[in-house]
Structure 1
Amino acid sequence: MESRSKRNIQQFNGDRYSTWKFRIRSLLEELQLLTVIDEEPPPRPDNEWIKKNILAKGTIVDYLGDTFLSFARGSSTAKSIMAELDKVYERRSLATQLALRKQLLNMKLQPDVTLFEHFTIR
Structure 2
Amino acid sequence: MASFLICLVAAFIHDYPDDVAIISVAAVELLLVVYAAVAGVRQLGGDSLVGAGWEFWGYVLTAFIIPIIAFWWAVTDKTRWSNVVLAAVGATVAVMLVRMEQIWHGGIFA
- Both structures adopt the same fold (TM-score exceeding 0.5): no
Higher relative contact order (CA closer than 8 Å, sequence separation 6+)? 2
TM-score by length of 1: 0.34
Structure ranking higher in helix proportion:
2
TM-score by length of 2: 0.37
Instruction: Choose 1 or 2 for highest CA Rg.
Output: 1
